[in-house]
Amino acid sequence: MPGHAVAASRARLFPFQAFLYKALGTTLGACQELPHVQEKLLQHLKKAKPEEPSEAQGIISLVCQAADSHFRLALETFTTFAATLCNAQCFGASRRKKMTRASRRAQATCNAAMLTYSSMALRASKEQLLAHVEADIVGNSLLLYISSSQPADLHPVQSVFFSAGPQNLEKNLALVQSITEVGCAIQAVGNFSSFDPVLQHKLLLILQNLMRKTLWDFPASSLHLKVILALEQWSKLKISFSRKEICSLLSDCCQSILPLPSADEQMEEIGNAEVALLQLQSLHMATKALGRLMAVLLKTKPTTVVFVDIVHVLWLRLSSDNPWERKRALQVYAQLLADCRDGVTFQTRCAYVPFGSLAGLLGPLTYDPVISSRQLAATCLSSLLHIQGFPVQGSWDNAGSLSGTPTRPREAAATSEESKT
């Protein structure tokens, strides 16, 4: 059978397989014979073929459906199954030889296992999550990731560095998604302080290392975007960052995505217009996500000092000789200021936004040779005026010039009253 026919056949089977796994998990969840539930879970987990996307999703569905009624049993059973995957010698041997079918299956199983743990975290009750999230969910996920990264003679941190290459993209994507989902689960229960701060910083260090060590090359661009989204999610959990940590984190994010070639250069290098378009879309989403990350970090520490630190990181990019780097930095800046304008109270944002220095920074950029950069600089200035309580009457034209004038709050109110009459 031709390859495309096989793929089409598998696509048609996917909804049916998903239904079967979900039905089986629901049935096991309703069963009160716990030894039977454990036996059947292990049996189906060992028979699954997670290298097939439908089977990988089926593992997640099977375990989570059973865990809805038997959370502890399902978690312990799945951990027993996952423990068989943590044989570093097996993974090490497969790295020294050509990738075999068995090793590909083992890696796919590890990826599915990491996502299963985080999916269980999303469905767990508050009591279940707080009791198991650190050692049983996050701890086992990291153990799976590290054991599949390198031979056992490397230190775990070295393994994380080693495994950041594009050849491990699927594994890295699975880890980042798992970390993101655990962060969402912790945020949902609202008990941030109960999570070990040392483990929090360890997860953030892993994310930062992935961002720093992974080259931007399709489809690795999706990894950069997901890492920034994960960082944004975890920064909402009131993690105590030092000024140095914030600057280091944001500098690495900026270095990873902002200095990339222009769209035309990327199109020419990639050769495939459809693939290049996907990468550019991912890059655009990453710049907006980076702006939101900065806004979340600022919200946790709404001070002028932190804001100036963030602006300083961006200033190094805004003053770049590379026009595309300046443009992307302005995109990040525009998102940051938009979030400050819309998501923070007027009294708070006025207290930490140094209006004069920021206006002086953005003013020259309204004369940037790139039209879209001039427009972005003008948008940033407009947000600054709103933050300071000076609504702008008029709009920015295609050249980046303002048609209209900013008004003081009282003048704006008077104008509003006149329009009503």
Q: What is the pLDDT of residue 270?
A: 67
Which backbone phi and psi does 82 adopt, to 5 degrees?
-65, -30
Q: Are 373 and 330 in contact (CB under 8 A)?
A: yes
Single-letter residue type at 330: L
CA–CA distance, 126 with 391 (Å, rounded to integer) = 44
The partner residues of 396 in beta bridges, in order of sequence, read 402
Q: What is the pLDDT of residue 412?
A: 40
CA–CA distance, 11 with 25 (Å, rounded to integer) = 22
Q: What is the pLDDT of residue 223?
A: 84
Single-letter residue type at 231: L
Q: Are 393 and 415 in contact (CB under 8 A)?
A: yes
- Nearest-Å Rg of the Cα atoms of the chain is 25
Pair of tokens at residue 98: 């050509």
Q: What is the pLDDT of residue 9?
A: 39
The secondary structure element, H or E, covering residue 403 is: strand 402-403
Q: Are 130 and 138 in contact (CB under 8 A)?
A: no
CA–CA distance, 200 with 181 (Å, rounded to integer) = 14
Q: What is the pLDDT of residue 221?
A: 66
Q: Where are the domains of the chain?
A: 266-411
Q: What is the pLDDT of residue 122?
A: 92
From first to last of its 421 residues, what are the pLDDT tens digits of the chain? 343 343 343 344 457 677 788 888 888 889 898 989 889 888 888 888 887 888 888 889 989 999 999 999 999 999 998 888 765 444 444 454 445 666 777 788 889 999 999 999 999 998 999 899 998 999 999 998 988 765 433 344 444 444 444 447 888 999 999 999 999 999 888 877 778 888 888 898 899 888 887 776 655 567 888 999 999 888 888 777 888 888 899 999 888 888 877 766 766 666 777 777 777 788 888 888 999 999 888 887 777 788 888 888 888 888 888 888 899 999 999 998 888 877 655 455 555 566 777 888 888 888 889 899 999 999 988 888 887 776 555 444 544 444 444 444 444 434 443 344 4
Cβ neighbours of 111 (radius 10 Å): 24
The secondary structure element, H or E, covering residue 309 is: helix 304-318
Q: What is the pLDDT of residue 102?
A: 65
CA–CA distance, 246 with 302 (Å, rounded to integer) = 13
Q: What is the pTM of this model?
A: 0.79
CA–CA distance, 65 with 67 (Å, rounded to integer) = 5
Q: What is the 3-state secondary structure (H, E, C) of 200-240?
A: HHHHHHHHHHHHHHCCCCCCCHHHHHHHHHHHHHHHCCCCC
Alpha helices in 48-100 (DSSP H): 53-67, 71-83, 88-96
